[in-house]
A and B are shown apart, each in its own frame.
Chain A
C-alpha cells in the first residue's frame, strides 16, 4: 500500500506499516518495550507518551491557545475530528475553563464526505455537531495525529462549508512528520519523528480504555 492509502476505523490517516525511529520515545515516556498485538500479529511497540505526558500536553496546548489569542478568547471554538480529536478537544476546553477561565464551545466535525479516498477504507459518515454558527469565530481544529495533512485539508474544506470563520488554527497531540500538503500545526503536544510506515497509535481512556501513545514498528 502506498502512502495515500488508509486503514483504520475512525476516518483518519493511515499509520501502520514501516519502522519506528530510534528516538520515538520521549524523555518522560515509559521506555519499557512491550509487545502489541495488532492486525499483523505481534510487533514491537514503544510507548512515546504516558497518561501524565498526554495530560501535560493538553495543559500546555491550552496555555498556548490562551496566549496566542488575546482579544479573541470570547470567539474561540474547539472542533475535534473524530474520533479521538473530539475527545482531545473536550479535554483542552476543560483545561481552558479550569486554568484560564475561558469557556470555549466544543464541536465535532465529520470529514468522511470530504476525503479524497472514498472506499479505500472503512469510511462511513458520522454526524457532525457544531456549536452554532462558526461565522467570525476563531476555530481550533483538534486531531490526535498529524501525518500527511490530508485529514486537515478535508477538515478545512468541511468547515468552510459551514460558514466563514475568522481564523482556523490546528492543535494535535502528535506530529509525526511526512506531510504531503503544505499544512503545519499551531499547537503540538509532542513531535515524534517516525518512519513513513510506522504506526502511531493514540489510546485515550474515553475511547480505548488505555491512556498512552504508542509507536509500533511496521513490518516493512
Chain B
C-alpha cells in the first residue's frame, strides 16, 4: 500500500524527481482508471472544466493522441497547438508562447521539445502544470511509467526483473527515463548497442553496458527494442543501417537468447525489418500494442494526481 495520495510537485518533468511511492501511486491509480475504457460511457467527470494544451515542437502522433484521449476520458478540454502553423514560425519565444497560453487560463501544458530542459524552463515560469512529453535526449517520463505499468501487468512485478534495452541508447530519452524508472523500482537494466550509440558513461548511471547482443539478452525478462532515430543522426555513427541490422536487429532467432516468454517491447514507431523483425513485433510475447493502451491509463493517472496535488496545495494555502 502506498503512503502518498497525490503528486507533491506541480509538474511532471522526469522520473528522476519522483519517489518510489509516487511511482507506485501512479501505477495503482492507472490500474483503476484503465477500467474507464471498458465502461459504456468511456469518460468520468473528474477534470471537468480543466483545459490541457498539447504543445508539441517535435513530430508525434502516438504520444499526443494518448495524452488527448487521457484528458478527454477525464472530461478535460484539449487544445492542440500545431507548432508549424503557430506564432513560433513568426519568431515568438517559447516563454512568450507559454505565457500567452497561460493568459488563456490553461491548467496543463503537455510539452515535447527538441531541447533538453525546455519543459523545466516553462514549469519554473508558469502556474500551469507542465508535463514533459519528451525533451531532447533527456527524459520522457510518461513513456517510462507506461513501460513500468506494462511490465507489472504482464509479469506480476518489476522488482528483481532484468530489462534489456537495445539500440540507439545515446539518442534515446526513453532509455534514460526507463533506466531511472526500472532501477528505482528494483529491476536491473542492461543497455546494448554499438559503441557509437552507447557510451560507457551509462555504467555510472547504474546500467549494465553491453556491446554484444547475446550476453545482453541472456537471462533477460524484457527485450526492449528502441527505434533507430535516423532523424537525430549525423552521418558516421553507424557504418550502415544494414550493418546495424545484422548485428543488433531483434529476430525470432535472437529473441530466444532471452528468458523463455520474455516480453518484447518497443516505444514506437517501429522501423520494421531494421531494429525489429516483423515476426517478433507481432509475436506471441510482444506487448507493443498493450503499451499503447496502457499509455492512456497512465497519462490519466498523471493528470488526475497532479490535479489532486494542486487542489490539495490550494486548500492548504487557503486555510491559515
The stretch from A24-32, A44-52, A157-165, A182-190 touching chain B is A157-165
Docked complex Cα distance between A93 and B29 (Å): 30
B212 CB-CB contact with A under 8 Å: no
- Per DSSP, chain A at the interface is loop
Given contacts A120-B315, A124-B29, contact A162 B39 (CB under 8 A): yes
A123 within 8 A of B: yes
Binds B, one of A68-76, A125-133, A166-174, A204-212: A125-133
Instruction: Return chain A residues, CB-CB under 8 Å to B314.
Output: 119
- Cβ of B5 and Cβ of A122 under 8 Å apart? yes
Query: Are A118 and B39 also in contact (CB < 8 A) when A125-B33, A127-B32 are?
Result: no
Interface of B is mostly: helix
Contact, CB under 8 Å: B309 / A119 = yes
Measured CB to CB, the nearest residue on chain A to B36 is A113
B 288-320 contacts with A by CB, 8 A: 304, 307-312, 314-315, 319
Instruction: Indicate if the CB atoms of B308 and A162 lie closer than 8 Å.
Output: no
Chain A residues whose C-beta falls within 8 Å of the C-beta of B25 in the assembled complex: 124
Contact status A162-B40, CB under 8 Å = yes
CB distance from B264 to the nearest CB of A (A): 29
Q: Does any Cβ of A come within 8 Å of B44's Cβ?
A: yes
Query: What separation, in Å, do the CA atoms of A117 and B28 have in the docked complex?
Result: 21
Contact surface of A with B, Cβ cutoff 8 Å: 1, 5, 110, 112-114, 117-120, 122-128, 157-158, 161-163
Additional 19 contacts, C-beta under 8 A, given A113-B33, A113-B46 = A1-B319, A113-B44, A114-B45, A117-B311, A118-B304, A118-B307, A118-B308, A118-B311, A119-B307, A119-B314, A123-B308, A124-B29, A125-B304, A127-B35, A157-B45, A158-B44, A161-B39, A161-B43, A162-B39
Q: List 26 A-B contacts (CB under 8 A).
A: A5-B315, A110-B32, A113-B36, A113-B44, A113-B46, A113-B304, A114-B46, A117-B311, A118-B46, A118-B308, A119-B307, A119-B308, A119-B310, A119-B315, A120-B311, A123-B308, A124-B5, A124-B32, A125-B304, A127-B35, A128-B35, A161-B39, A161-B40, A161-B41, A161-B44, A163-B40
Contact surface of B with A, Cβ cutoff 8 Å: 5-6, 25, 28-29, 31-33, 35-36, 39-41, 43-46, 74, 304, 307-312, 314-315, 319
